[in-house]
Structure 1
Amino acid sequence: MKLIITIVQDDDASDLIDVLTDEGFRVTKLATTGGFLKAGNTTLMIGVDEKDVDKILKTIEDKCKTRDQIITSPSPVAGATGVYVPYNVEVEVGGATVFVVDVDKFLKI
């Protein structure tokens, strides 16, 4: 048995969960926050048989596409004066970070 831990952007989570549950997989959803953008994301934990890992990974890849997003970031204008002027920065968001780990024991009590 394997445990797939995947971190996806909130915008992608609902569609991914719907597809996985429609395919008969059980998904545990955790609300998490990313460190770089300080924005909400979703961590999914999916316990599967080893034979299903590739199918799950393909589904994640199909549903969680990367895209560009404009964020506003403060920038020091006058050095040490403490004056900040916001400016727009384009960053890539979306996609997924996936960990596949072995499960030594699985119990459903």
Structure 2
Amino acid sequence: MPIDTVLTTADVMARLRVSRKTLYGLVAKHLPNAARVGRDYRFIEADIVTIFCGMRSSCDSTCGGGRITTVGSSGGQTPKATKSGNLQKLLTKRRPKVSVSN
């Protein structure tokens, strides 16, 4: 199998218009057996296509029908959080001062 043109990390960052951190995250997710040379990766055209298809499938439905996931909370307290909050109030409650008469 002939090897296509080998591209460096900087070349792929420029082609995909992503940062180094983003590219490394995509490589970890979509190319687990990527070719490393020192701290950098080496890519062929097939690798770039795999990364790009992975980018398209991980975004919202307008971009290719990928799965939509939500992260975060609604801001409401869960029952466990409420219980621990009440317990914390009980434990940190100040004791009333006791007056001592002579």
More relative contact order, 1 or 2 (CA 8 Å, 6+ apart): 1
TM-score over 0.5 (shorter chain): no
Highest Rg: 1 or 2?
A: 2
What interval of TM-score do these two structures reach, taking the shorter chain for normalisation?
under 0.3
* Higher strand proportion: 1
* Higher helix proportion: 2
